[in-house]
Amino acid sequence: MKTMIQDVLRELIQIDTRTSQANETEAAVYLKGLCDRFDIENQILEPIQGKGSLIARIPGTDPSKKELLLLAHLDTADFGELEKWHFHPLAATEYKGRIFGRGAIDCKGLASVWMSILINLRQNGLQPERGILFAAVADEESGGEYGMKYLIEHHEGIKNCGYVIGEGGGYPIQLEGTIYYTCQNAEKGRAAFRVTEPVEGIEMGKEIYTGHPIINLLKGLLITKIYDGELLRFFIKQPFSGSHKRRLDYKMMLCDSYSLDRDEKGERVTIQEIPGMKAKDFSVLRNKLASLLRNAEMTSHIPASYSRVDTELYRVIARETKKRSAQYKVIPFTTPGYSDNRYLRGTERAVYGFFPLTLEDGLSGIHGHDENISTEGLLMAYDLLNRIVQQFIRTRPAERHRA
């Protein structure tokens, strides 16, 4: 299986699926070939030429249990300046225990893990009690209109699934003797306004936070249950610890914010709203910014989304991560950006971003130069996610493989 995961990732990296190419169908066809080889039910949906998504499925024995969706995307960011790459971004070069290439982490690494988990179930004759779906989708980097947005409207399995694991979390933060793994359970909303008059007195590009982080954290713990006690302990501990490789900005997670920037069309104000914000709260924030938004036009609005952490799937993620090492703990995480997860969140669906990496696997190469993942990190992610998936779907030997 070790060779299989690395081979799948290398093959996917070598297929050019940059947003500028509209070529995700080629990667979906490659994954379809693997599904056909291992007798995994699958189909490709292609709303427009080149924007194909693969959906694979292994049905469960208990139709009363909502299916688990394993989600990744096939498109990638563009290369940027090629001369700044040490290896060509489509070469999938292995060097000093790392695989270099565009999409190694975002998000072909996760796609290779999910594909390998399905293959492992088939190779070992394991039958899940809960059905399992794998979606390798197009168009995420461009907003998802021809990917997840289309699939959730046109594919019954994705529309009706009850649980999702995708990208957006999983990177570790070390504080003293504990390694905290982030699990994305929420995404901030974003509203953009085109400003017709110049804005004075605000630094261009600076994020300005509003609201009360402690109050918002307590609301998350007690009312919406989007956070848990482990996150509270983490935030108390973080300022006093000198041993850490990464930090979480509590204002970024727990406060609304606004910023001013400029593009070719002029100035624009962007508001980021925390999960759980009511329409009334959003109006209060807009009123606070009335002087900035005078004569402004809203050009886009992506609502905030969240999943509670008191669910069966989150408990399995936290439990299996801790089983791997007593040092490991999982904390819920709100991201300021957005992913395909936002299309799937709702009151009846638990959606988490969890692609666990090692401390040595950095995030700086994502959308930048020399994107890479360590083979150790890739295999660790497979091992942990395979345990999580098998525990949640409850596998057993298929009837035809029994003596």
What is the residue range of 385's domain?
2-167+355-401
Task: For the chain, state the CA radius of gyration.
Answer: 21
Q: Are residues 181 and 283 in the same domain?
A: yes
Report how many domains make up the chain. 2
pLDDT of residue 129: 97
Phi and psi, residue 128, nearest 5°: -80, 145
Q: Are residues 163 and 192 in the same domain?
A: no
How buried is 191 (Cβ within 10 angstroms: 0-12 exposed, 13-18 middle, 19+ buried)? buried
Give residue 248's region: left, alpha or beta (phi > 0; psi -120 to 50): beta
Residue 279 lies in a domain: yes
Residue 45 lies in a domain: yes
Residue 158 lies in a domain: yes
pLDDT of residue 258: 92
Nearest to residue 292, comparing CAs of 274, 273, 272, 267? 267
Q: Are residues 395 and 279 in the same domain?
A: no
Give CA torsion, residues 354, 355, 358, 359, to 10 deg.
-60
pLDDT of residue 403: 33
Q: Which two tokens stand for residue 40?
A: 């995994």
- Spatial distance between the Cα atoms of 302 and 188, rounded to a whole number of angstroms: 9
346: β partners: 349
Residue 194 lies in a domain: yes
Q: Are residues 159 and 16 in the same domain?
A: yes
Residue 325 lies in a domain: no
User: pTM here?
Assistant: 0.94
Residue 346 lies in a domain: no
Q: Are residues 153 and 186 in the same domain?
A: no
Q: What is the CATH number of the domain that holds 6?
A: 3.40.630.10
Q: In what order do the strands lie in the sheet with 93-95?
A: 93-95, 98-100, 372-374
pLDDT of residue 245: 61
Q: Are residues 30 and 113 in the same domain?
A: yes
In angstroms, how far is the first alpha carbon of the chain from the final one? Answer: 25
The residue among 285, 302, 319 that closes a domain is 302
136: β partners: 54, 72
Residue 343 lies in a domain: no
The residue among 234, 269, 302 that closes a domain is 302
pLDDT of residue 360: 87
State the helix-helix crossing angle for 375-393 and 108-123, rounded to 10 degrees: 50
- Spatial distance between the Cα atoms of 369 and 48, rounded to a whole number of angstroms: 30
Q: Are residues 129 and 271 in the same domain?
A: no
Q: Are residues 280 and 178 in the same domain?
A: yes
Nearest to residue 366, comparing CAs of 140, 32, 181? 140
Helix (H) or strand (E) segment spanning residue 283: helix 279-288
Q: Are residues 194 and 241 in the same domain?
A: yes
User: What is 26-75 written as a DSSP string?
Assistant: HHHHHHHHHHHHTT-EEEEE-SSTT--EEEEEE--S-TTSPPEEEEEE--
Q: Are residues 6 and 123 in the same domain?
A: yes
Nearest to residue 91, comparing CAs of 200, 197, 9, 5? 9
Q: What is the largest CA-CA distance in the chain?
A: 77
Task: Kindly list the averaged pLDDT for each block of 10 residues, start to end, along the chain of length 403.
Answer: 89 97 97 98 98 98 96 97 95 96 97 98 95 98 96 96 96 91 95 86 89 91 93 89 73 92 88 79 75 85 93 98 96 92 88 94 83 95 98 84 37
Q: Are residues 148 and 241 in the same domain?
A: no
Our measurement of the distance from residue 49's CA atom to the centroid of its chain's CA atoms, rounded to an integer in Å, reads 25
The residue among 241, 275, 302 that closes a domain is 302
Residue 123 lies in a domain: yes
Q: Are residues 270 and 160 in the same domain?
A: no
